[in-house]
Structure 1
């Protein structure tokens, strides 16, 4: 019979993964999201024409 991890380890791992996913969802949909600011900045950089 193969060795198995204790049940509480599996439950702890599942809870950690669920919290990680939920926190990332909340960060993505937050109104003061820095990802949207970064996207706007990258669009500004694309509009610039560099003359060397």
Structure 2
């Protein structure tokens, strides 16, 4: 696309990378992370398979 040649491709690449990184950071921090202080007790059930 020679029409867009004067736009300095390195500046456009850095602009898109920065937009991508800002978008990902905003999505990561947009929800409240609940602390994992609760310990769930996993009950292990032994199943005797009778083949």
Length-normalised TM-score, structure 2:
0.50
Which structure's CA Rg is the greater one?
2
Q: Which has the higher helix share?
A: 1
Give the structure, 1 or 2, with the largest relative contact order (CA under 8 Å, sep 6 or more). Answer: 1
